[in-house]
Chain A
Amino acid sequence: MTISRRDLLLGATGLAAAGTVASPGQVFAQAAGAPKYTPEPGATLRLLRWAPFVKGDDEAWLANTKKFSDATGVQVRVDKESWEDIRPKAAVAANVGSGPDLMLVWFDDPFQYPEKLLDVTDIATDLGNRFGGWYEGPKGYGQTKDGKFVALPLATIGNGLVWRQSVIEKAGFKDMPTDTKGFLELCQALAKNNLPRAGFAMGNAVGDGNNFAHWIVWSHGGQMVDESGKVVINSPETIAALNYARELYKTFIPGTEGWLDINNNRAWLAGEVGVTANGVSIYYSTKNEARFKEIADDTRSSILPVGPVGKPIELHQTTSAIIFRHTKFPNAARAYLQFMYDKPQMDAWIGGSSAYCCPALKGFIDNPVWNADPVHKPYARASETLRPNGYAGPLGFASAATMADYVMVNMVAEAATGQRTPEEAAKRAETRANRVYKV
């Protein structure tokens, strides 16, 4: 029998995978049946993530990371960047093949450079098997059409409808209507009775603007592209959605067409709006401050109203974990993510995030945080109601570029404000999307 160099290498890899060549400090408990990755000797990692909005998220993530370092000896440096800098930083890291080993990225970022990312299918499959499976929406942000996972969906940053209960009661509504028709009637009643009005961002707001615009269009059956990536935005369903947006806009507080992500939070704190859509952070900005106690006690939340399509559909914001191929320590990076996605760590992190992060795995939704406060509850459905950006087409450059160019947001704003008729706005969006989808 001859032993080739290849056999030797394969044998060494197998031994390493089995953990038999690892130093004692590098071994940590891994679930039975899970793929085993033993960190390379002397491995260190650098993770770049978005700056947390909730202190508990940061604390839990760092505590989990420390546990990993203690168990394996692998030091992990966690850097944070503002939300909007994550996309360019990830893109540059992928492009130049240098920088952080892992990142928490947004939306369809992984689909812009899938070949620069480590395949994590085995980990994703194992996590799915062990923790009740992935929610379909978030899964779409990690899995390519050929079934390969280039990212591990981490969480959905839920966007919910938030309102002041006392305000809607003064308008004659006991509860928030659950359908778009009733919701319009409520907003009209607020405006008519000179109460704090509704206000939704329609400026070039990455989070709130996109959430609102996609909800309006999707809830009426419109969509940017079909399964093949053909632009189908100029449809009767979209026109119906834009007509609805036009009626809704008439009830809004002035200035929403210039609103960026922060504006509705400001107006909310000032008591100027009675209804808006936001992450749960808008509630925490009042709950943790005594001077806003009245607003906090009066705050209620729900998922966004269901439109003619008959089921809740929302965009939300999604974050996924990726490992760059350029990392010198791929096994350490894989082991780190495996560890962070395991139930004890994920429970601590989801709990610490105070309902800000809805898990992408169904098995983690039993977290007590969702019942800790009634305002939290609707945010637990974020991963369930999520529909990926660029629905129903493939994720990639075109879907990301269409969103980055605010095609959907601009279309809704143009029609809502009367700058263009719904037909003109839909036609223009079609032309713009066609440029990106290269018709």
Chain B
Amino acid sequence: MATTAALSRPAPRETTLAERILQDRNVLGILFMLPAAAFLFLFLTYPLGLGVYLGFTDTRIGRAGVWVGFENYESLWGDSVFWLSVFNTFLYTFVASILKFMLGLWLALLLNEHLPFKALIRAIVLLPWVVPTVLSAIAFWWIFDAQFSIVTWSLQKLGLVQGSINWLGDPQIARASVIAANVWRGIPFVAITLLAGLQTIPPSLHEAATLDGATSWQRFWHITLPMLSPIIAVVMTFSVLFTFTDFQLIYVLTRGGPLNATHLMATLSFQRAIPGGQLGEGAAIAVAMVPFLLGAIMFSYFGLQRRRWQQGGQD
């Protein structure tokens, strides 16, 4: 019987080549990745590659360019406005990022305490981040108006200043003003993300440290900060990237003025490429941002994430 049953079992069907290929794990893996890869290529690699290529051409709006090698970069090397925009971008990014980090961390620590209406307060804190940049920029435009600034008016009423404050007219004050607007907008992102990080720190560590007699500063320095450093690395990488490439705030508030004192590389790139029609030079300015951005990412990933740093040690 057993022999009969074995003989009557149908012989296994031979699989076709197509079926074998489709059942191959490696082939399937590639197939599933294809849509994402195509998407990335189309919307990331191609535009980036095109931008880099344009930077080496003299393409103008309405006219295809020819390869000019490093001519755009040589020209920018001798351009004082470009170097001013580089300086402005670094100053803007550096000061705004530090302020956003310090104030954001402070806010996160406060929000991590047991507060009444905790959820509501956290939602409110997110508002500046949620409001479209252009809208908040327009609000700041009024706040910084030379004639109608609410801040100037308040200071005048308090008797602290006599005349009007030239918020966006004086180069130094204009730089400070746009940085203040950027910090206001960026704090919630840092605060909420760090808050999420704070909540992953086991309370037992703090309890143990408290039992050992650690002060609150020692607990912050030796427990909170090291435990938080991986998320700080990620948050600050994003924060630096967002700040370095900021465009809308400046475009609405000053268009890069006064006297180019608030021109960032992104705004100068746009000004030269689109209204100015010099796509090649505009692309070159944009490409010139890439090494700095890569540097910031490298620093965050390979620096801030180092285990020794996280453990409070030295390199």
Given A266-B147, A272-B147; A405-B168 close (CB under 8 Å): no
Minimum C-beta distance from B63 to chain A (A): 7
B62 touches A419 (CB 8 A): no
Collect the chain B residues with CB atoms within 8 Å of residue A206's CB: 275
Between A and B, how many residue pairs show CB distances below 8 Å?
Answer: 124
Collect the chain B residues with CB atoms within 8 Å of residue A116's CB: 62
Given A203-B254, A405-B271; A112-B75 close (CB under 8 Å): no
**CB-based nearest A residue for B270:** A88
A258 touches B166 (CB 8 A): yes
In the complex, whether A255 has a CB less than 8 A from a CB of chain B is yes
Interface residues on A, range: 35 or more
**Could you give, for residues 247-274 of chain A, a 1 whenever the CB lies within 8 Å of some chain B CB and a 0 otherwise?**
0000001111111100100110010100
In the complex, whether A397 has a CB less than 8 A from a CB of chain B is yes
- Counting chain A CB atoms within 10 Å of each CB, the highest count among B61, B62, B174, B260 belongs to B62
- Chain A stretch 384-434: residues in CB contact (< 8 A) with chain B: 397, 400-401, 404-406, 410, 413-414, 417, 419, 428, 431-432
Collect the chain A residues with CB atoms within 8 Å of residue B170's CB: 257-258
Collect the chain B residues with CB atoms within 8 Å of residue A255's CB: 145-147, 164, 166-169
A257 touches B259 (CB 8 A): yes
In the complex, whether A94 has a CB less than 8 A from a CB of chain B is yes
Given A94-B62, A116-B62, A258-B257; A401-B276 close (CB under 8 Å): yes
Q: A401 touches which one: B75, B145, B257, B278 (CB < 8 A)? A: B278
Cα A263 to Cα B150 with chains together (Å)? 15
Minimum C-beta distance from A228 to chain B (A): 20
Collect the chain B residues with CB atoms within 8 Å of residue A266's CB: 145, 147-148
- Counting chain A CB atoms within 10 Å of each CB, the highest count among B60, B146, B166 belongs to B146
Collect the chain B residues with CB atoms within 8 Å of residue A270's CB: 147-148
- Chain B stretch 132-188: residues in CB contact (< 8 A) with chain A: 145-148, 163-164, 166-171, 174
**Could you give, for residues 197-234 of chain A, a 1 whenever the CB lies within 8 Å of some chain B CB and a 0 otherwise?**
00000111110000000000000000000000000000
Cα A95 to Cα B256 with chains together (Å)? 26
Collect the chain A residues with CB atoms within 8 Å of residue B278's CB: 397, 401, 436
Minimum C-beta distance from A88 to chain B (A): 4
A204 touches B256 (CB 8 A): yes
Collect the chain A residues with CB atoms within 8 Å of residue B147's CB: 253, 255, 263, 266-267, 270, 272
- Chain B stretch 218-238: residues in CB contact (< 8 A) with chain A: none
In the complex, whether A113 has a CB less than 8 A from a CB of chain B is yes
Cα A406 to Cα B258 with chains together (Å)? 11
B277 touches A404 (CB 8 A): yes
In the complex, whether B274 has a CB less than 8 A from a CB of chain A is yes
Collect the chain A residues with CB atoms within 8 Å of residue B171's CB: 419
In the complex, whether A80 has a CB less than 8 A from a CB of chain B is no
B81 touches A405 (CB 8 A): yes
Chain B residues bordering chain A, tally (CB within 8 A): 36
Cα A404 to Cα B274 with chains together (Å)? 9
Collect the chain A residues with CB atoms within 8 Å of residue B61's CB: 91-92, 94-95, 112-113
- Counting chain A CB atoms within 10 Å of each CB, the highest count among B79, B81, B167, B171 belongs to B81
Cα A262 to Cα B68 with chains together (Å)? 40
Collect the chain B residues with CB atoms within 8 Å of residue A95's CB: 61-62
In the complex, whether A377 has a CB less than 8 A from a CB of chain B is no
- Chain B stretch 101-138: residues in CB contact (< 8 A) with chain A: none
Cα A267 to Cα B62 with chains together (Å)? 39
Given A253-B147, A270-B148; A87-B274 close (CB under 8 Å): yes
B168 touches A401 (CB 8 A): no
B145 touches A203 (CB 8 A): no
Q: A113 touches which one: B62, B164, B275 (CB < 8 A)? A: B62
Q: B164 touches which one: A254, A406, A419, A432 (CB < 8 A)? A: A254
Q: List 29 A-B contacts (CB under 8 A).
A: A87-B275, A88-B275, A91-B61, A91-B62, A91-B277, A92-B61, A112-B61, A115-B62, A116-B62, A204-B257, A253-B146, A255-B146, A257-B169, A258-B167, A258-B170, A258-B258, A266-B148, A267-B147, A270-B147, A397-B60, A401-B277, A401-B278, A404-B271, A410-B260, A413-B257, A413-B258, A413-B259, A419-B259, A435-B79
The 4 lowest CB-CB distance pairs between A and B, nearest first, are A255-B146, A113-B62, A258-B169, A204-B255
